[in-house]
């Protein structure tokens, strides 16, 4: 398949003031296909922004190279940059200028001018639904509006490839919906390739044709959502909240003895429980969460209930299909949200 972006052993090591190195990105190689929405999913500090900065020619990679539409970002940055539109994680706009003035200014930086520039500006303003406020200063805008202008500026040069670095950060649900729809439109109506970074599993799941999971500067998994969940064994999880039993071990042993349960996890959260009730009375947790991993959750449900119900009181029960959260947990042993 035709690759829009191809990175080869791309890495970045920052050097701190005390000269200790930070390996922000550790020699990653991946490719993004033309016309797809590719998400880079990872927790804070995983190296998403650093990766984008390198493949947009903003910072020099410490190792490796990236090819944008065939152009090396190190050797032919000018040609490569012409193909890219960048939507930074921050609101990279001049707050003292109006939305329109910002578009004009950045349009000029892509050597657009005159009628052509005005046409592109109108196009972007319409596309991002900014007509009403286009003559207002950015510093009078709400967070969601600023985000939309921020995206708009990245689209001015009609790029083949758009980088969007956490474009929904700090945005209300309504604006978030709008932004996600915009991303789809870019792919479907304008045949653009989108590289989208986020630390939100739901966004990655909804948007992406393919997903790369990044953690500590490494891509630890890459593929479609189905591929990813399959790869980790695609197990369902039965998540059961129970009143804490007096004899925990017997209960767990009984569950583990079941031939279809591949793994049983048990979690008691004393501190959280105490916090929730507030005050200074120290309270041991009264609830616990049991997680049973198995091939077919629905099938096993009745049997598991059977075993537990004899020993403890059940507060809730849920069958979870494998998702990216599970993939991340499986690969790193940590929850994505931490």
Ligand X SMILES: Nc1ncnc2c1ncn2[C@@H]1O[C@H](COP(=O)(O)OP(=O)(O)OP(=O)(O)O)[C@@H](O)[C@H]1O
Q: Which residues bind another protein (CB under 8 A)?
A: 53, 56-59, 77-78, 81-82, 84, 86, 88-97, 105-106, 108-111, 113, 153, 157
Buried-state track 224-258, b at ≥16 Cβ within 10 A, e below 16:
ebeebbeeeeebbbbbbebeebeebeebeeebeee
Q: Is 58 in the site for ligand X (CB under 6 A)?
A: no
Which residue among 49, 53, 150, 182 contacts Mg ion (CB under 5 A)?
A: 49
Q: Is 94 in the site for ligand X (CB under 6 A)?
A: no
Q: Is 92 in the site for ligand X (CB under 6 A)?
A: no
Q: Is 49 in the site for ligand X (CB under 6 A)?
A: yes
Helices 114-127, 99-109: inter-axial angle, 10-degree rounding: 130
Residue with tokens 């649900």: 173
Which is closer to another protein, CB of 70 or CB of 233? 70
- Quick one: what does residue 44 bind among another protein, ligand X, Mg ion, none, with the CB cut-off 5 to 8 Å set by partner type? ligand X
Minimal distance, residue 309 CB to another protein, in Å: 56
- Quick one: what does residue 198 bind among ligand X, another protein, Mg ion, none, with the CB cut-off 5 to 8 Å set by partner type? none
Q: How many residues bind Mg ion (CB under 5 A)?
A: 3
Q: Is 24 in the site for ligand X (CB under 6 A)?
A: yes
Which is closer to Mg ion, CB of 43 or CB of 322? 43
Minimal distance, residue 217 CB to another protein, in Å: 19
Q: Residue ranges of the alpha helices (H) in the chain?
A: 48-55, 77-83, 99-109, 114-127, 143-155, 173-188, 201-207, 225-231, 248-256, 270-277, 297-309, 324-332
Minimal distance, residue 85 CB to another protein, in Å: 9
Q: Is 212 in the site for ligand X (CB under 6 A)?
A: no
Whether residue 221 contacts residue 206, with contact meaning beta carbons closer than 8 Å, is answered with no
CA pair distance 237, 320, nearest whole angstrom:
5
CA of residue 122 relative to chain centroid, distance: 30
Contact region with ligand X (CB under 6 A), list: 45-53, 113-121, 182-190, 234-242: 45-53
Handedness of CA 302, 303, 305, 306 (dihedral sign): positive
| Max CA pair span of the chain | 78
Q: Is 46 in the site for ligand X (CB under 6 A)?
A: yes
Residue 137 bridge partners (DSSP): 98
- Quick one: what does residue 329 bind among ligand X, Mg ion, another protein, none, with the CB cut-off 5 to 8 Å set by partner type? none
Q: Cα dist. 73→6, 177, 251 in Å? A: 10, 33, 58
Which is closer to ligand X, CB of 48 or CB of 100? 48
Contact region with ligand X (CB under 6 A), list: 44-52, 68-76, 269-277, 315-323: 44-52
Minimal distance, residue 90 CB to another protein, in Å: 4
Which is closer to Mg ion, CB of 197 or CB of 229? 197
Which is closer to another protein, CB of 193 or CB of 225? 193
CA pair distance 24, 337, nearest whole angstrom:
19
Which is closer to ligand X, CB of 200 or CB of 317? 200
Handedness of CA 129, 134, 138, 140 (dihedral sign): negative
CA pair distance 107, 117, nearest whole angstrom:
7
With CA atoms as reference, report the closest residue to 50 among 222, 220, 217: 217
- Quick one: what does residue 86 bind among Mg ion, another protein, ligand X, none, with the CB cut-off 5 to 8 Å set by partner type? another protein
Residue 14 bridge partners (DSSP): 22
Which is closer to ligand X, CB of 133 or CB of 199? 199
Residues that bind Mg ion (CB under 5 A): 48-49, 89
Residues that bind ligand X (CB under 6 A): 14, 22, 24, 42, 44-50, 89, 199
């Amino acid at each position: 398949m035709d690759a829009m972006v191809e990175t080869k052993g791309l890495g970045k090591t920052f050097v701190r003031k005390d000269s200790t190195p930070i390996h922000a990105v550790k020699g990653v190689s991946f490719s993004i296909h033309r016309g797809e929405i590719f998400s880079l999913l990872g927790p804070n500090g995983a190296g998403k922004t650093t990766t984008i900065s390198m493949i947009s020619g903003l910072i020099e990679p410490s190792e490796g190279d990236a090819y944008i539409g065939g152009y090396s970002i190190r050797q032919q940055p000018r040609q490569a940059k012409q193909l890219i539109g960048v939507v930074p994680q921050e609101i990279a706009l001049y707050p003292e200028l109006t939305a329109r003035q910002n578009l004009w200014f950045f349009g000029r930086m892509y050597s657009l001018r005159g009628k052509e520039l005005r046409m592109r500006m109108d196009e972007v303003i319409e596309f991002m639904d900014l007509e009403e406020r286009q003559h207002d200063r950015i510093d009078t805008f709400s967070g969601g509006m600023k985000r939309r202008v921020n995206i708009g500026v990245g689209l001015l040069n009609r790029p083949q490839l758009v980088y969007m670095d956490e474009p929904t950060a700090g945005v209300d649900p309504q604006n978030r919906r709008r932004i996600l729809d915009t991303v789809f439109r870019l792919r479907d109506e304008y045949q653009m390739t989108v590289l989208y970074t986020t630390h939100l599993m739901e966004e990655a799941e909804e948007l992406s044709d393919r997903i790369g999971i990044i953690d500590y500067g490494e891509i630890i998994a890459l593929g479609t959502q189905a591929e990813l969940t399959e790869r980790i064994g695609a197990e369902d999880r039965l998540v059961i909240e129970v009143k804490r039993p007096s004899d925990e071990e017997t209960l767990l042993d009984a569950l583990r003895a079941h031939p279809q349960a591949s793994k049983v996890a048990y979690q008691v959260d004393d501190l959280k429980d105490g916090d929730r009730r507030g005050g200074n009375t120290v309270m041991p947790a009264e609830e616990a969460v049991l997680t049973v991993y198995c091939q077919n959750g629905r099938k096993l449900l009745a049997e598991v209930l059977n075993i537990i119900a004899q020993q403890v009181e059940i507060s809730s029960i849920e069958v979870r299909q494998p998702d990216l959260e599970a993939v991340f947990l499986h690969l790193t042993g940590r929850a994505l949200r931490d």
